[in-house]
């Protein structure tokens, strides 16, 4: 019994160290109560609007980046393209960390758009807009009010980066017309990669946790911690499967900008998300499933495991 408990402790430490080693580039929780940079425009509370950038004419921080890198988000014009905070969340606490989770965001108008703006946020660490990671992970919780068509939860703006179609952006993390979920991106060699679930993977009115992982050789898509599909990137013929970064720009976007609740196609904003989004995290390495935000923290699992062992031992003694 003592040896088994010691083994569980060692495993827990190993898992915790593995989780701690994850290189998080941006983490938008939307639980920003008390953040002075945000609350100078009004209290962070359910039903209130997120600060907007007046059509990207002025910098106002709308969501704090909890990675520590300073990749904060702003939003477009609230009246037609902004968001409100809501108390409807996927869980009361983030399973992996145990952090309290009280707020998410929901589109306030019919053309929602949130984005990074590094020229204004001035990241102090890794700049998410200039990175081209060889391996990376995208995580997000979402709840759709309506589906159908292409609806992007997380995107990366660009054009002319995919050789098969120059109108494609660098990345889409989205739902599709048949209620599939999908993870798609262009690489630095110009190849287009995508992994798409079966039809009918999601429905409206229900929270989901989605994760897309690329380790440079395999691309994986998870929904609620279940592996849906994988793609072998080595079969594509690409010599460099790192995430693409081009040099194109438009009147309201630049190469490398990351978006929330909208995508980009043919240089135009589109693929709007109608519903709620929460706990968006981007890492510049390939996380394993034990490191996903939707997986219970190692310490919790250890406590449950030790409790079961103690109970079992007591029953045997009695």
User: What mean pLDDT do residues 118-143 have?
Assistant: 98
10-14, 125-129, 196-200: least confident range: 10-14
Which residues are within 8 A (CB) of 312 and not within 5 positions of it... i.e. 6 or more apart? none
pLDDT tens digits along 149-173: 999 999 999 999 999 999 999 999 9
Q: Check the CA dihedral 178-181-187-193 and report its sign.
A: negative
Domain residue extents for the chain: 1-22+296-318, 24-286
pLDDT tens digits along 27-57: 999 999 999 999 999 999 999 999 999 999 9
Contact 95, 294 (CB under 8 A): yes
Q: Using 50, 70 and 90 to split pLDDT, how confident is the model at 22?
A: low
Q: Using 50, 70 and 90 to split pLDDT, how confident is the model at 20?
A: very low
Q: Which CATH number fits domain 24-286: 2.60.120.200, 3.40.50.2000, 1.10.3720.10, 3.30.70.100?
A: 2.60.120.200
CB neighbourhood size of 177 (10 A): 11
CA distance 91 to 93: 5
pTM of the predicted model as reported, rounded to 2 decimal places? 0.88
At residue 107, φ and ψ (nearest 5 deg) are: -60, 135
Which whole-number Å values give the CA distances from 99 to 19, 62, 93, 207, 283, in the listed order? 15, 20, 5, 18, 18
Q: Check whether 102 has a pLDDT greater than 50.
A: yes
Supply 263's token pair. 């995508």
Burial class (CB in 10 A: 0-12, 13-18, 19+), 265: middle
Q: Reduce the DSSP state of residue 303 to 3 states and report it.
A: helix
pLDDT of 297 reads 73
Q: Using 50, 70 and 90 to split pLDDT, how confident is the model at 198?
A: very high
Name the maximum alpha-carbon separation found in the chain: 75
Query: How many CA atoms within 13 Å lie on the side-chain side of 72?
Result: 23
pLDDT tens digits along 237-246: 999 999 999 9
Q: Check whether 217 has a pLDDT greater than 50.
A: yes
3-state DSSP helix/strand/coil % of the chain, to nearest 5: 20, 30, 50
């Amino acid at each position: 019994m003592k040896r088994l408990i010691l083994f569980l402790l060692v495993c827990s430490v190993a898992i915790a160290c593995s989780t701690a080693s994850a290189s998080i580039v941006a983490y938008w929780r939307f639980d920003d109560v008390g953040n002075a940079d945000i609350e100078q425009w009004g209290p962070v509370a359910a039903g209130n609007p997120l600060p907007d950038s007046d059509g990207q004419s002025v910098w106002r921080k709308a969501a704090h980046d909890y990675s520590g890198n300073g990749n904060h988000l702003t939003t477009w014009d609230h009246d037609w393209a902004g968001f409100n905070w809501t108390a409807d969340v996927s869980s009361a606490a983030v399973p992996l960390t145990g952090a309290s989770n009280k707020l998410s965001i929901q589109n306030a108008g019919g053309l929602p758009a949130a984005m990074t703006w590094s020229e204004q946020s001035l990241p102090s660490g890794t700049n998410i807009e200039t990175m081209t990671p060889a391996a990376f992970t995208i995580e997000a919780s979402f709840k759709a009010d309506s589906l159908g068509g292409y609806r992007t939860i997380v995107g990366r703006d660009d054009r002319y980066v995919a050789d098969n179609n120059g109108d494609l952006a660098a990345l889409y993390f989205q739902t599709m017309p048949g209620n599939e979920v999908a993870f798609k991106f262009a690489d630095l060699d110009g190849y287009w990669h995508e992994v798409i679930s079966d039809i009918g993977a999601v429905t409206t009115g229900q929270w989901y946790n989605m994760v897309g992982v690329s380790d440079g050789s395999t691309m994986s898509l998870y929904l609620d911690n279940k592996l849906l599909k994988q793609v072998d990137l080595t079969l594509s013929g690409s010599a460099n499967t790192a995430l693409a970064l081009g040099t194109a720009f438009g009147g309201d976007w630049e190469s490398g900008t990351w978006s929330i609740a909208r995508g980009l196609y043919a240089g135009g904003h589109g693929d709007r998300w109608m519903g709620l989004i929460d706990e968006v995290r981007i890492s510049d390495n390939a996380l394993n499933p034990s490191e996903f935000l939707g997986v219970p923290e190692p310490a919790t699992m250890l406590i449950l495991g030790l409790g079961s062992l103690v109970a079992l031992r007591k029953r045997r003694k009695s």
